Every structure is written in structure tokens, then in C-alpha cells.
Amino acid sequence: MTGGTSGRSTGRAVRFGFLGAGWIASRALAPAVHAADGATLQAVAARDLGRAAALEPEGRCYDDYAAVVADPDVDVVYVALSNEAHRPWTLAALQAGKHVLCEKPLGLDATEVAEITAMAVTHDRLAVEAFWYRWHPRTLRLEHLLAEGVPGRILGVETDFTFLGDYTGEFAGNYRLEPARGGGALYDVGCYAVSGAHLAVGPELTVEKATATLGETGVDLATSATLRVPGGVHAGAGAVVACGIAAPPRQVFRVEGEDAVLELPGDEAFTSWNRSSTLEIREAGGTVRVETFAPVDPYRRMVEAVAARVRGEDAFVVPLDHSAQVVTTLDAVRTTTAAAAGSTATAGE
């Protein structure tokens, strides 16, 4: 049911089971599930049972992830583990007949995402990558404006996501700094920048050049790339994407077209959460329109949408086709920077 419905339309609350009780699970998803209409937090598994209990599930707490996957009272498994664990636990949950909401990145390469997609199709289950910004009303409005052709032929896109991580003290040894665990800026926040680029210009992007700055552990602390649309209505348009996990915070989502520029201004282009936000439309003739959006929790909207789809209702979820597009571009960027050993390289050199 990657693009369909589960056939279950009982109207009952959909029961979520969490794998992991770290920051994102405890600060964002657990409150979202508790507040959501049509969803309950049924079970949580964590290495520390105390942390699992702190999320206040209605059912059981486990110290074994497999126990949540096997729990007959769980409908949706939410995978909130470090990146290298996303694929195996998503596959295990799908194979057990559960629907899955998985933190980004869904897989570490295109092969892993294809494997997850095939498993979801085989077992007729939903698999959704938790690109939570996609459920924000401002992003949905941006998509509508793009679909309506408001910017005209797109000339260029800029998407940036950087933050200054503190990897000392309690954060020493963070998985973001471990190559074997899917660490690095490209996996952590570069996926947002690339997702935004694909959202703006469509499924095909090629890498023109890319640069990575590597840290002592070998992960990319920062990556930037120039992408190009190879064909179609926006052929030749460029997309400049940048990401970093040890850089001053910056978020940009700007689409420049022949007729108008669309921009999500401010410092929360991807992470607007329970705060008001705006969308700017700057027309070529000089007219500027600003649309304002009330504070909203996109995590809650994501949970409610996944629950609705599980019940067989019509609701937006990020399609696996988009996840495949994003990871394919991430693969190409990573290959280009690896070939250059951390220096600027041109694809094909």
C-alpha cells in the first residue's frame, strides 16, 4: 500500500510503537502522537526502560526493539534509531505486517530504499519517510504555487540547512560523527536540502559539482553541491544545496522563476514548529505578497496523516518515489565528493 490504503477503516485510533526514545522521539513525536486525533502511543522500546516509560505509552515498555515489532497491539512502528539502523528495523517491521514511519534518511543509499519499497509492496504496508516539513501548511502552499506554475519556468533553486552542533560533554560520541552509523551532514540535514530541490524542480537532478569538508572521524561536517535539471520544462535550471552540522545555523528555501520568486524566509525554512511563519511571493513586476501561517505542529500533522492512511482514508504522505529521488541524488553527491577526497570535483572527471 505504498500509494494506496490498508483497507482498515474502523475509525479506531491507530496505535504507534516506538523504536528508540531519544531526543526526536521524546521531544517531538511522543507529544505529537499524544496530541493527535486518531492516534495513540501504544508501546516504546529503548535500551533504558526509564526513558521508554517517560514517553508514557498506553501499553508496554520494552528493552528489546523486536518486542515492539512483534507486539500485536501495534499498528505502526516508528523507527527513531540512528541512521544505520533504519533499514533493518524498517524491513523487520514491514515483514511483520506493520506499517512504518521512519526517520530520515529512510536508507543509506538507493539500494536500501529500493529494498524497503519492495518489502512495503510485497506486504501491502505503508512505509513513510518522516520529512516532517512536508506536512507544514506553508510547504503545502508552496507545493500548490509550484503546481499552479506561479514562478513560471524555474531558473534556479537554493536550499540550505546548517546548524552548529555541540559534540562535547553529553553529546560526545554522537552518531552524527560516526561513519559506520550513517553520520555526517549529508545524511543528517542534506536530505532536507535535496528534498526541497526535488520538490521544486521534479524527479531528475544531476550533480554538476560538489564539495565536502571532512572532520577528524571521516564524516562530512559540511557539503555543498550544484545540481542541474537535465530535461523537461525546467531543463537547465540549477539547484544549489548546502548542509552542515558544525556551522552557523542557516536555512534557505528559495525558488527563482521567470515570473516570480517563491521563498520561505527566516531561519526556519525547514523547521518551523509551533511558531508563526511566512511565505514570500516576489513577482517579476515588483509586486511582493506575503502570506502568513499560524503556529502549527507539523509532527502532529504527519502522525495524523499516517494514521488516516492506515485507516484507509485519503491523506497526504511523502511517497516512496520522492524518497528514492532524494537518496539517488544524495548517492551522486556523496560519490562526487568521495572521488575528490574532500575537495571540489566535477562529476565525470
Catalytic positions, written as ranges: 104
C-alpha cell at 102: 521512519
Q: How far apart (Å, rounded) are the C-alpha atoms in residues 139 and 250?
A: 18
The answer to whether the beta carbons of residues 78 and 15 sit under 8 Å apart is no
Q: How far apart (Å, rounded) are the C-alpha atoms in residues 46 and 20?
A: 5
Angle at alpha carbon of residue 168, lines to 210 and 247, rounded to 5°: 30
The answer to whether the beta carbons of residues 337 and 210 sit under 8 Å apart is yes
CB atoms within 10 A of CB 294: 8
Q: Rounded to 10 degrees, what is the CA torsion of 12, 123, 321, 28?
A: 40
Angle at alpha carbon of residue 190, lines to 175 and 119, rounded to 5°: 75
Cis amide leading into 137 (omega within 30): no
CB atoms within 10 A of CB 343: 10
The answer to whether the beta carbons of residues 90 and 79 sit under 8 Å apart is yes
Q: In this structure, which amino acid lies at residue 302?
A: M
Q: How far apart (Å, rounded) are the C-alpha atoms in residues 72 and 167?
A: 39
Q: How far apart (Å, rounded) are the C-alpha atoms in residues 74 and 103?
A: 18
